[in-house]
Amino acid sequence: MTTPQQHDPDNNSQLDAQGRLRHFLTTEGLSRDQLTQILDYAETFAGVGERPVKKVPLLRGKTIMNLFFEPSTRTRTTFELAAKRLSADVLNLNIEASATKKGETLADTLHTLEAMHCDMFVVRHAQSGAAHYIARQVAPHVSVINAGDGSHAHPTQAMLDVFTIRQHKPDFSQLTVAIVGDIAHSRVARSEIHALKALGVKTLRVVGPRTLIPAGVEQLGVEVFHDLDQGLRDVDVVMMLRLQRERMAGAYIPSEHEYFRRYGLTEARLAVAKPDAIVMHPGPINRGVEIDSQIADGRHSVILQQVSHGIAIRMAVMAMTLGRQGGENTADEDAG
């Protein structure tokens, strides 16, 4: 991409003139009420997958384009499934055969797709700021959802994680949350920090080796720990992060074995957290690197619940950005 890659400093550019979501690009800058509205609206979609007919007609006639310039399986699949459950038409762009690979600018490609009367672009890109750039280029009737851009943001992942936390521990003001691992390269961590702080979580910790904790992260209102046992003491929620090997330019850790020895989550390490602590991971999991299999598959784990909740969150965001606001139309009201 030949355009500037810095993310849009105006975090409210994702809102329309009435303060409603037009795009969903970042959790940064959104208020507690705005984030809570997304969570509440997602609740209305949580049971759609258990119905005999797993569809609601909210987005019938809408066309949604998945633009994944970076490989993904679970994120693209859950976005596609969410769109189809809303009765939208879904297209997946073959990036390897797309015109951008042949020299056409990204803006020209977008305008060509707009001419096909697409209503939404779901964008994943390796460069930070790509989703904001695309949102500035599209026509007024088109919405953009950021499905992950570089090391910058992954807002729907953060919201599905927050949704999962709320299912188990609804009072954020009483929670201590630890985010463990590769904070420096994780777009999930950044989006979660902004969301959890806005929702009023009592204590938010980041834990990891010095090489994987970005300088100045304390300014976001988090406590920094380099010792895992100290960082996990008395926490309610443990969020383990995947090592972002594809975004590492050098030797940030001595070895995966050494990383697991110091920062891998095991039963012994989890014992210092609260007895009812929940364990989360955005996936895909590197077993024996970030987390022991006994923990990933154990009674504290809510990892598979995160995947299920991701569909409800993405349904809510898609419906809201395309003009259906939570509280006006719900899955139950439109089920008939």
Strands (E), the chain: 63-68, 89-92, 120-125, 143-149, 176-180, 203-207, 223-225, 237-240, 278-280
Q: Is 284 annotated as a binding residue?
A: yes
pLDDT tens per residue, range 256-279: 888 999 999 999 999 999 999 999
pLDDT at site 336 = 39
pLDDT at site 2 = 30
Q: Is 101 annotated as a binding residue?
A: no
Closest CA to 24 of 32, 34, 33: 34
> Which domains are delineated in the chain?
11-150+308-321 (3.40.50.1370), 155-301 (3.40.50.1370)
Interstrand relation of 237-240 and 278-280 (parallel, antiparallel or unpaired): parallel
What are the beta bridge partners of residue 205? Answer: 178, 223
pLDDT at site 101 = 60
Q: Is 261 annotated as a binding residue?
A: no
pLDDT at site 26 = 97
CA dist., res. 84 & res. 98, Å (int):
23
Amino acid code (one letter) for 67? L
R_g of the chain computed on alpha carbons: 20
Q: Is 73 annotated as a binding residue?
A: no
Q: Is 157 annotated as a binding residue?
A: yes
pLDDT at site 104 = 66
Q: Which parts of the chain register pLDDT below 50? A: 1-10, 324-328, 335-336
Q: Is 226 annotated as a binding residue?
A: no
Q: Is 74 annotated as a binding residue?
A: yes
CB 263 within 8 A of CB 208: yes
pLDDT tens per residue, range 70-86: 878 889 999 999 999 99
